[in-house]
Structure formats: C-alpha cells, structure tokens
Amino acid sequence: MTHQLLTDILNSVLQINKNYQTDTGLLGAIAEFDSMAVIGVITALEEQLGIHVDDDEISAEVFETFGSLLAFIETKQA
C-alpha cells in the first residue's frame, strides 16, 4: 500500500501522472521535483502516514529515487 500511496502523493504534489519503479529518479531527474516539491511531499507523508520527518533526515540521498524514498518511509513506519 505504501508504494501506491507514495505514487499518489508524488503525482499530486508534482501535478503529473507517472508510474514509478524503485529505480525511477526523482531529485534532479524530474523537472517538477524541486525544493518546494520536497516540502510538499514531506508534508503529505507526515499528514497521511502520521510520521515525523526531522530536518536532519532530509537529504538528496533520500529523494534520489522512488526506491530510496520508499525505503526511508518504511524505516520511519517501523
């Protein structure tokens, strides 16, 4: 379910309709994925999943690919 929810969040924040694979690039690969999009994604994740993302957890590595972001979310939910 997290895969589909993350897909929905990304498509909503980025205002695109895209299917994501674990190796799909995000930051630097999708023009719409800028710093404001990162904030939008984090806010949506916190609201919809009830997780909290600390400022020091936000890094380019986390947002590099769909898979890296998904792994980060799964770690936060554990």
pLDDT at 78: 84
- Contact between residue 20 and residue 66 where contact means Cβ atoms under 8 Å apart: yes
Which residue stretches of the chain have pLDDT < 70? 1
- Contact between residue 66 and residue 23 where contact means Cβ atoms under 8 Å apart: yes
CB-count burial class (<10 Å; 0-12, 13-18, 19+) for 67: middle
pLDDT tens, residue by residue, 29-49: 999 999 999 999 999 999 999
pLDDT at 1: 62
Domains and CATH numbers, the chain: 2-77 (1.10.1200.10)
